[in-house]
């Protein structure tokens, strides 16, 4: 079974072009499952024959995960990992019967995405106006997140060639290596233009050819990396908002919610966000409905007792 897991991860990486995050998650889930099977059979992991795994073994594993207090969303992901793995093994002739074929994925808890208000966005942007190369870059990063709703990985992978300031747009590579073009507003364009004027001042002796192509530069002169952006965004959000989730994703959520609140078509927002399915975007309609309910309860004379 261990060999089949290695083949499957290689398949995800090469043929499916899965992200590094997906590869790590699936590998972790399958390794945990393999360890569980070995403990149940009281044998070494290398001795586990993939044909010996039946549906009961999988259900016992899921029961153990539930007893461990894992969230439904985490268990759902692990179920998806196992289902996908055994489907691959079945289609490639590794097993004669798929034990995960009828496995039901637990429904995830629906959590409304956290957002910040428009006035908080304005205060956030104003915090970066110090005129330094670092400040210009911070402003450009924050403006791009809010103006486009792009993911953290998409931002750190951006090159200067992805920006078309005259055309008022940016080209990003999203999940599945899919390219999409997103319009830019004037605030984001101005911020990016100022950053480009001082970007080279962020280079140093360690700046390599990849970093010279990168739109954003980390301290030390290399291409900007996700952890650095996360820390930077949190440091600014700490100063203007009480929201508990202080990550770049909150700017993506705010982008989508504010667009929807202002009348944008949800199908257009789906394209901006790079969602493969409209159902992933519809969570933002719930956010808007909740906001409408709050406004109603505060404004209508007979809404509250």
- State the pLDDT at residue 45: 87
Residue 35 forms part of a structural domain: yes
Do 65 and 212 share a domain, yes or no?
A: no
- Angle made by CA atoms 263, 266, 270, in degrees to the nearest 5: 135
* Residue 252, domain extent: 118-297
Do 68 and 130 share a domain, yes or no?
A: no
Residue 104 forms part of a structural domain: no
Q: Read off the CATH number of the domain in which 193 is found.
A: 1.10.443.10
Residue 39 forms part of a structural domain: yes
- State the pLDDT at residue 305: 56
Do 15 and 127 share a domain, yes or no?
A: no
* 3-36 pLDDT tens trace: 999 999 999 999 988 888 889 999 999 999 999 9
- Is the pLDDT assigned to residue 248 strictly greater than 60? yes
Q: In what order do the strands lie in the sheet with 179-183?
A: 163-164, 169-173, 179-183
Do 122 and 42 share a domain, yes or no?
A: no
**Boundary-marking domain end, from 91, 107, 131:** 91
Residue 7 forms part of a structural domain: yes
- Is the pLDDT assigned to residue 104 strictly greater than 80? no
Do 124 and 267 share a domain, yes or no?
A: yes
Residue 102 forms part of a structural domain: no
- State the pLDDT at residue 261: 84
Region 108-134 average pLDDT: 84
Any residues with CB less than 8 A from the CB of 17 and at least 6 apart, and which?
176, 177
**Boundary-marking domain end, from 74, 91, 108:** 91
Do 57 and 132 share a domain, yes or no?
A: no
Give the active site residues: 151, 175, 249, 252, 275, 284
Residue 83 forms part of a structural domain: yes
* The dihedral sign for the CA sequence 26, 28, 32, 37: positive
Task: Sort residue 17 into left (φ over 0), alpha (ψ -120 to 50) or beta.
Answer: left
Residue 110 forms part of a structural domain: no
With cut-offs at 50, 70 and 90, classify the pLDDT of residue 183: very high
Number of domains in the chain: 2
Do 167 and 59 share a domain, yes or no?
A: no
Region 77-104 average pLDDT: 89
Question: Which one is predicted more confidently, 227 or 110?
Answer: 227
First to last CA, the chain: 62
Any residues with CB less than 8 A from the CB of 196 and at least 6 apart, and which?
160, 163
- State the pLDDT at residue 160: 97
Do 195 and 252 share a domain, yes or no?
A: yes
- State the pLDDT at residue 303: 62
Decide: 8 and 57 in contact? Cβ < 8 Å: no
Do 76 and 160 share a domain, yes or no?
A: no
Which range scores top for mean pLDDT: 94-108, 125-139, 152-166, 289-303? 152-166
Do 147 and 277 share a domain, yes or no?
A: yes
Q: Read off the CATH number of the domain in which 28 is found.
A: 1.10.150.130
Question: Which one is predicted more confidently, 285 or 267?
Answer: 267
DSSP string of the chain, one letter each residue: -HHHHHHHHHHHHHTS---HHHHHHHHHHHHHHHHHHHHHHTS-GGG--GGG--HHHHHHHHHHHHHTT--HHHHHHHHHHHHHHHHHHHHTTS-SS-TTTTPPPPPPP--PPP---HHHHHHHHHTT-S-SHHHHHHHHHHHHHHHH---HHHHHT-BGGGEETTTTEEEEE-GGG-EEEEE--HHHHHHHHHHHHHGGGG--TT--HHHHHBSSB-TTSSBP-HHHHHHHHHHHHHHH---S--SHHHHHHHHHHHHHHTT--HHHHHHHHT-SSHHHHTHHHHHHHHHHHHHHHHHSTTS--
Residue 148 forms part of a structural domain: yes
Region 90-104 average pLDDT: 87
With cut-offs at 50, 70 and 90, classify the pLDDT of residue 278: confident
């Amino acid at each position: 079974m261990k060999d089949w897991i290695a083949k499957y991860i290689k398949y995800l990486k090469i043929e499916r072009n899965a992200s590094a995050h997906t590869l790590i998650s699936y590998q972790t889930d399958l390794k945990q499952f393999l360890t569980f099977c070995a403990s149940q059979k009281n044998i070494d992991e290398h001795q586990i024959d993939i044909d010996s795994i039946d549906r009961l073994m999988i259900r016992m594993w899921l029961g153990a995960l539930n007893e461990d207090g894992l969230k439904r969303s985490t268990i759902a992901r692990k179920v998806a990992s196992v289902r996908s793995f055994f489907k691959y093994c079945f289609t490639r002739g590794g097993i004669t019967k798929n034990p995960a074929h009828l496995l039901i994925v637990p429904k995830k808890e629906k959590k409304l995405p956290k957002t910040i208000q428009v006035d908080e966005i304005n205060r956030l942007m104003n915090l970066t106006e110090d005129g330094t190369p670092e400040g210009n870059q911070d402003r450009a990063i924050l403006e791009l997140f809010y103006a486009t709703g792009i993911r953290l990985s998409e931002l750190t992978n951006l090159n200067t060639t992805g920006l078309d300031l005259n055309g008022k747009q940016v080209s990003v590579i999203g999940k599945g290596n899919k390219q999409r073009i997103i319009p830019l507003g004037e605030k984001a364009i101005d911020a990016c233009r100022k950053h480009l004027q001082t970007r080279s001042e962020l280079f140093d002796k360690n700046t390599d050819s990849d970093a010279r192509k990168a739109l954003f530069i980390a301290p030390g002169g290399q291409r900007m990396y996700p952890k650095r952006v996360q820390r930077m965004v949190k440091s600014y959000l700490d100063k203007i908002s009480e929201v508990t989730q202080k990550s770049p994703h909150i700017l993506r959520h705010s982008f989508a919610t504010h667009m929807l609140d202002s009348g944008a078509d949800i199908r257009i927002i789906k394209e901006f966000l790079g969602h493969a399915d409209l159902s992933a975007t519809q969570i933002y309609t719930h956010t808007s409905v909740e906001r409408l309910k709050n406004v109603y309860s505060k404004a209508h004379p007979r809404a509250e007792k």
